[in-house]
């Protein structure tokens, strides 16, 4: 039996085990998916091989550490330096990123998006900003601290911290910070969030499984919103295809992964 896992800190909230196990069970694929609470990202590679994993997902805050741990990085992950999916290919650790495509899938229903504000500048923000710029979307980034903004400046995004933020009009604002994940914090000070929400058509939060204070405020202003569930589904389907080496039909993977959301 093949063993897969998700690494993160925190990781107890992750729905990935349910999603992947639902696919394996219904499609009779001989595999099992578990979760590993990893506090030290530098131990990722040795833990992966010590557990005898065939593949894994990586979540907050280890996606950049996962990139560094790989023997080879493929596709979009190479461009962004952020890995969320790991495959054991003959004892070598191969890294991919399925977050950005998962997110593009999630926002399809919002129609044409030309201007986006990303809150946060971590691994998820990097993947999304790169993909948005690739799609020709004007992308701004607002982060608590300035250190992580260099990557986004190089990409051509308008970059701000809380103290120098200049508001514009957005089609979509995306929260990629972990504010609200295990606390009740907003991704930026209240006055800034008020101003931002008054200048956007749509809101998305990467966090799923709970209504974050940010999403709650957006809903209170009757803005069309979504949490991170569709993004989770999109990235999960793409990761599962890699786990099973494309042996299962994408439509079947999507069907049984979606079903796990009803559990
Ligand atoms: P990282 O640790 O790489 O980045 C976290 C970012 O959040 C940083 O920019 C950090 O700012 C900011 N931040 C953290 N706490 C606060 C706070 N209290 N106030 C304001 N900013 C804060 O995380 P990831 O990019 O890997 O993940 C981010 C979130 O996205 C997580 O909640 C994760 O669960 C979710 N996610 C969901 C997915 C899905 O499928 N739905 C997929 C991927 C991620 P600073 O630089 O100042 O420290």
166 lies in the same domain as 237: no
Whole-number average pLDDT of the chain: 96
114 lies in the same domain as 163: yes
- DSSP class per residue in 53-78: -SEEEE-TT-HHHHHHH-SEE-THHH
pLDDT tens for 79-130 read: 999 999 999 999 999 999 999 999 998 998 999 999 999 999 998 999 999 9
83 lies in the same domain as 149: no
Supply the residue whose CA is at minimum distance from atom 4 of ligand 1.
122
76 lies in the same domain as 14: yes
pLDDT value at residue 89: 98
68 lies in the same domain as 125: no
Give ligand 1 pocket residues (Cβ under 6 A).
59-61, 63, 99, 102, 120-125, 143-145, 148, 176-179, 181, 185, 187, 206-208, 228, 231-232, 235
Q: What's 88's domain CATH number?
A: 3.40.50.10860
209 lies in the same domain as 251: no
- Model confidence at 263, pLDDT cuts 50, 70, 90, reads confident
pLDDT at residue 131 greater than cutoff 90? yes
217 lies in the same domain as 160: yes
3-state helix, strand, coil in the chain (%, to 5): 40, 25, 35
**What whole-number distance in Å separates Cα of residue 173 and Cα of residue 201?**
8
Supply the residue whose CA is at minimum distance from atom 34 of ligand 1.
207
Handedness of CA 79, 83, 88, 93 (dihedral sign): positive
| Domain count for the chain | 2
Q: 170 with 199: CB under 8 angstroms? A: yes
Torsion of CA 30, 36, 42, 48, to 10 degrees: -20
Tokens of 43: 């131990």
165 lies in the same domain as 48: no
Q: Among the atoms of ligand 1, which is closest to the Cα of residue 188?
A: 20
| Preceding amide of 10 cis, omega within 30 | yes
pLDDT tens for 240-254 read: 999 999 999 999 999
How far, CA to CA in Å, does 192 sit from each of 158, 177, 187, 197?
A: 16, 15, 10, 9
44 lies in the same domain as 127: no
CA of 156 to the centre of ligand 1 (A): 21
Q: Which domain holds residue 145?
A: 101-227
- Model confidence at 209, pLDDT cuts 50, 70, 90, reads confident
Which is the catalytic residue, given 28, 43, 63, 226? 63
190 class by beta-carbon count within 10 Å (0-12 exposed, 13-18 middle, 19+ buried): exposed
Residue where the block lists tokens 């506090």: 39
Question: Is 63 one of the annotated active-site residues of the chain?
Answer: yes
pLDDT at residue 73 greater than cutoff 90? yes
Q: What's 206's domain CATH number?
A: 3.40.50.720
**What whole-number distance in Å separates Cα of residue 151 and Cα of residue 141?**
11
CA of 114 to the centre of ligand 1 (A): 23
**What whole-number distance in Å separates Cα of residue 139 and Cα of residue 116?**
5
pLDDT value at residue 38: 98
């Amino acid at each position: 039996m093949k063993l897969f896992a998700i690494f993160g800190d925190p990781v107890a909230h992750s729905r990935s085990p349910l999603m992947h196990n639902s696919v394996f069970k219904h499609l009779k694929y001989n595999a099992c998916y578990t979760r590993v609470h990893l506090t030290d990202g530098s131990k990722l590679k040795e833990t992966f091989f010590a557990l005898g994993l065939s593949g894994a997902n990586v979540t907050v805050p280890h996606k950049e550490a996962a990139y560094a741990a790989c023997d080879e990085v493929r596709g979009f992950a190479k461009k962004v330096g952020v890995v969320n999916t790991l495959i054991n290919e003959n004892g070598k650790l191969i890294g991919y990123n399925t977050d950005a495509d998962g997110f593009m899938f999630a926002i399809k229903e919002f129609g044409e998006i030309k201007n986006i504000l990303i809150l946060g500048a971590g691994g998820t923000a990097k993947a999304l900003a790169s993909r948005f710029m690739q799609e020709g979307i004007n992308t701004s980034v607002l982060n608590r601290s300035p250190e992580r903004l260099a990557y986004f400046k190089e990409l051509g995004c308008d970059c701000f911290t809380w103290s120098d933020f200049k508001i514009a009009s957005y089609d979509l604002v995306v929260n990629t910070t972990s504010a609200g994940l295990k606390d009740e914090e907003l991704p930026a000070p209240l006055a800034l969030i008020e101003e931002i929400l008054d200048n956007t058509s749509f809101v998305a939060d990467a966090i799923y499984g709970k209504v974050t204070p940010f999403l709650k405020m957006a809903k209170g202003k009757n803005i069309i919103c979504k949490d991170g569930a569709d993004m989770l589904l999109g990235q999960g389907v793409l990761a599962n295809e890699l786990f099973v080496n494309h042996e299962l039909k994408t439509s079947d993977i999507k069907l049984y992964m979606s079903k796990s959301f009803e559990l």
